[in-house]
Structure formats: structure tokens, C-alpha cells
Amino acid sequence: MKIGNEFEKRRRYLLDQLGNSSIGVVFAAKEIKRNGEGYYPFRQDSDFFYLTGFTETDAIAVFAPGREEGEYILFNRPHDPELEVWVGPCAGQEGAVRDYGADQSFAIRDAGKIITSIISGRERVFYNAGGHPAFDHRIMNWIKRLESKGRQGVNVPTDLVNIGKITHEMRLRKDEAEIATLKRAADITAAAHLRTMQHCQVGMLEYELEAELMYEFVRGGGQDTAFENIVASGASSCVLHYTENNRRIENGKLVMIDAGVEYNHYAADISRTFPANGKFSEEQKAIYQAVLETQEAVIGMVRPGIAWIDLQHASERLITEKLVALGILQGKVESLVAAGAYKPFYMHRIGHWIGLDDHDVGKYKIGEMWRILEPGMTLTIEPGIYIRDDIPGVDKKWHDIGIRIEDEVLVTEDGYEVLTVGVPKRVGEIEALMANR
């Protein structure tokens, strides 16, 4: 089946950025052995997918600006009737051209010879460095092979550059197709979180609730989780990346769920926190409101032109103010913020870019300057307050309250759009929903 034209647009942009003295080489992900004859489920390299839409392993995409025979060359598996009996049809060389828009396609076994000849005469090779040590070795071998022909007048590239320098900046600004896919992933994930609130019962095991998440992920057409599911109740809600998910959910405790589906290679990432028995205690509600008000205020700041770090600083100040108002911190807000007094309670960042990867690519700081938000960027806003019982000087009525509220936000032309709608986060809404379980 022919893929959408967004991939072609991305390749055109990349080719123009590379220019005629450079070449781009992007390796597909490798299959990873699991045991005996088995492999882990295959997941394509994000840059490779972004540029090609091609989902098979054993492939290399070459981008050669100005090359007469074709600028986009895909090396992939030729048809293998014996293998295809087991794994189904692969694209083969004709599929690479017909369905994936390659100008030329060759069998992967011929890649070394052909790529060596394509890179000769270019000054720079851009490639997905760091993806796998085998990729670095192959690039070096091709260059060495060319160097041995130096006396025949062959020009050898001198600069090796991580292609992420171009692709990561591209991926930071989502195109329409990406936003549509992110919204679908967000919808599936919102439905999954909603289902956990509807199915939570005191006495359940955390993994039983995790099963409700997975039910919606698979039913919605997701292929995987974007990261390990976090279903954390009671004291575990204060463990940022708790993934054991095997505690019994107790009456009077909170349940913090941080989970997202991977849908057509794109991630979703939502956190919600709710009371196991459906009703927040006074203390839980107070901390919950502090996190929610912080989250809503920071989301409200999102617009083109604001620096990402300003969102971080705003969250630190707001959480400090609220901890002071609750009597958990004592002192002047200004000096408490400066001293980092919020850190035992709020020790992580306000959020991250999200896209093909949950913690998506894209620099936060360019040189000495923090990134300024632009339309098309997508990020999570996920403040939290976590009150472990070993933080000195805190009344024990606050102990084991761990709350994170996380949504995904798109920067629009004049502000923001929350992508993860469809799962409540107001106290009244959550309690009303859970009262009708």
C-alpha cells in the first residue's frame, strides 16, 4: 500500500539541507535477539521511519542530493519466498519504488559496494550515529575502502556528522500528519486512563488495573506502550518511575497512573492520579489542587515566543507558593525558590518534547540560550508533588501522597491546544465518574 506524501516532503527538505557536497545515510533499526530463535518485537528507528515510512529491518536509506540516477536510494531485503512463508510479504525492490517512493532500490547485500561509490566525491557524510555500533563500523569501512583508492584520484569524505543535527530539528516541529497521529495516540490513551478510573476497586492488584489500560491500548489499535506502564498506589505513587505494579491497592490511598500507547510509531504520555475508593481525603485534595492549579497555569503560558525554561521556573515557583500556603514549607517564597526548597517534593522537570519518541528529540538549550517555543512543537506539562515519609519536618498526615498530572500540549500559532483531552482531571469530575462505577 502506498504511504502518504508527508515522507516525500520531509526527504525533500532534508536533501535541500544536506546540499550537493553532502550525503545522508540512515540505517534501519536492527532486530534484537531475545532468546533461542526469538526476537523482541521490532520497532523501526525513529529517524528512519520519519524519512521513509518503511517498517522493515535490514534496510539503509541513502539521500544523495543532485544525483542524476535518483536522490533517494533504498537498500532493502529482496523477496525471499521461504522467509515470506513465515513472516508475510516484504516490499522487495519493486515495492520500495512503487509504495515507498524510492527513486532506486537495491538488495541490501549490495549496499556496501554501491554506497561506497555514491559517497565518493562528497565532503560530508551525515548518518544516524549512535544507533548501533555496527552502523559506525560500516561507515568507517566504506570510507577506508575509498581511502585505499586515493591514488586513483577518488575524493574521500572528511567529515562525519550526526544526521540528527538536521532531523532532530525537523522532528521538533510536527507536521499535520504527525499531529493527527499524536492525537489518535492521545485519544486511545485518554480512553485507557478513563477505563482505569471506572474499573478501580479497593483490594485490586495494581497489575489488574494495568490490564485495563492494555485492553484499551490494544483495542484502539496501538502496537505497544510508549514506555513502561506506571501503576503506582499508596507509597509507590512517590516513586517517579515505579513499574513493579504488583502492590495491592488499599482503601484511602491514591493511585497514580503514568502511561501511554505507541500508535503508528508515535507516543502518548498521560498521568492521572485518583483516590482508590473514589473520594479524595482533605489532605489528598489539597495537594491535588496544588498540582492541578500549577499544571493549568503552566499550560496557560504555552505560546510561541516563550522560552521552555520559563515553564520550568513557573512550575517551581507555583509549587513552592502552594507548599508554603499549606504549611509544608515555611519561609519566604523568593528565598525558598532560590534555595531549591521544593526539590524534595518536586525533583523532575516540567515536561519534555513528545513525538515519535516519548522523550522526543530536540535540544532544550542551544548554546547558552534556552529554546523558544514555536508553532508545531509538542510537549508534556507534568508537574508533581511527592511526599515520601522520609522527608524531615513534614506532618505525617501528608505522607505517601504522590501526585502527578500530565498532559500533552501543542504550540499553535497564537497559543496552545491540549492534545490529551478526554480524561478528566478536576476533583469533582473524577469523584463523579468514580461514584458511578
Binding residues for ligand GLY, per CB under 6 A? 227, 258, 269, 352, 382, 406
Shortest spacing between CB 104 and Mn ion, in angstroms: 40
Q: How far is the CB of 239 from ligand GLY (least distance, A)?
A: 12
- Number of C-beta neighbours around residue 181 at 10 A: 20
CB of 417 to ligand GLY, least distance (A): 19
- Of the pair 188, 329, the CB lying nearest ligand GLY is at 188
Query: Which H or E run includes 368?
Result: none
Q: Which one of Mn ion, ligand GLY, none interacts with residue 145, CB within 5 to 8 A by kind?
A: none
Cβ(150)–Cβ(156) below 8 Å: yes
Amino acid of residue 89: P
Per-residue binding string, Mn ion, 267-286, x by CB under 5 A, is --x-x---------------
* Segment lying near Mn ion (by CB under 5 A), choices 40-48, 198-206, 316-324, 378-386: 378-386
Residue 129 makes CB contacts below 8 A (sequence gap 6+) with 135, 136, 160, 162, 163, 164
Tell the smallest beta-carbon distance from residue 309 to ligand GLY (Å): 17
The residue (of 184 and 352) whose beta carbon lies closer to ligand GLY is 352
Task: Give which of ligand GLY, Mn ion, none residue 227 binds (C-beta under 5 to 8 Å, depending on kind).
Answer: ligand GLY
Question: Smallest distance from the beta carbon of 216 to ligand GLY, in angstroms?
Answer: 17
Q: Of 18, 17, 12, whose CA–CA distance to 118 is shortest?
A: 18
Smallest separation (angstroms) from ligand GLY to the CB of 243: 10
Among 46, 104, 380, 420, binds Mn ion (CB under 5 A): 380
| Nearest distance from C-beta of residue 342 to ligand GLY, angstroms | 18
Which residue lies nearer to ligand GLY by CB, 227 or 370? 227
Select 104 or 380, whichever has its Cβ closest to ligand GLY.
380
CA distance 360 to 171: 8
Nearer to Mn ion, 45 or 406 (CB): 406
- From the list 117, 106, 44, the residue with the least C-alpha distance to 72 is 106
- Per the DSSP assignment, residues forming a β-bridge with 60 are 27, 75
Distance from C-alpha of 194 to C-alpha of 76, rounded to nearest angstrom? 42
Is 242 in contact with 258 (CB distance < 8 Å)? no
Answer yes or no: are the C-beta atoms of 9 and 50 closer than 8 Å. no
Which cell is 268 given? 502518548
Q: What number of other Cβ atoms are within 10 A of residue 307's Cβ? A: 15
**Which of positions 163-192 make contact with Mn ion (CB under 5 A)?**
none
Does the footprint of Mn ion cover residue 206 (CB under 5 A)? no
Q: Which stretch in 119-127, 185-193, 379-387, 391-399 sits in contact with Mn ion by CB under 5 A?
A: 379-387
Give the gyration radius of the chain's Cα atoms: 25
Per the structure block, which three cell numbers stand in for 414? 497564537
Identify which of residues 166 and 419 has a Cβ nearer to Mn ion in the complex: 419
**CA quadruple 336, 352, 433, 249: dihedral sign:** negative
We find the least distance from the C-beta atom of residue 258 to ligand GLY, in angstroms, to be 5
Measured from the CB atom, the residue of 338 and 421 that comes closer to ligand GLY is 421
CB of 352 to Mn ion, least distance (A): 6
Residue 212 interacts with, from ligand GLY, Mn ion, none (CB under 5-8 Å by kind): none
Q: Does 258 bind Mn ion (CB under 5 A)?
A: yes
Please report, as residue ranges, which positions from 406 to 425 form the binding site for Mn ion (by CB under 5 A). 406
Would residue 332 be called left, alpha or beta, if left means φ above 0 and alpha means ψ between -120 and 50 degrees?
beta
Given Mn ion, ligand GLY, none, residue 56, with its beta carbon under 5 to 8 Å by kind, binds none
Task: Report how far apart, in Å, the C-alpha atoms of 138 and of each of 49, 111, 112, 169 are.
Answer: 20, 10, 8, 25
Residue 13: name its binding partner from Mn ion, ligand GLY, none (Cβ under 5 to 8 Å by kind): none
Toward ligand GLY, which CB reaches closer, 318 or 350?
350
Residue of closest CB approach to ligand GLY? 258
Nearer to ligand GLY, 178 or 360 (CB): 360
262: contact with Mn ion by CB under 5 A: no
User: Which pairs from 307-315 meet CB under 8 Å and 24+ separation?
Assistant: 307/370, 307/371, 307/372, 307/373, 308/364, 308/370, 308/371, 308/372, 308/373, 308/379, 309/364, 309/370, 310/370, 311/350, 311/351, 311/381, 312/349, 312/350, 315/346, 315/350, 315/383
Report the nearest approach of ligand GLY to the CB of residue 227 (Å): 5
CA distance 398 to 186: 32
Q: In terms of CB distance, is 53 or 384 closer to ligand GLY?
A: 384
Residues at the interface with Mn ion (CB under 5 A)? 258, 269, 271, 380, 406
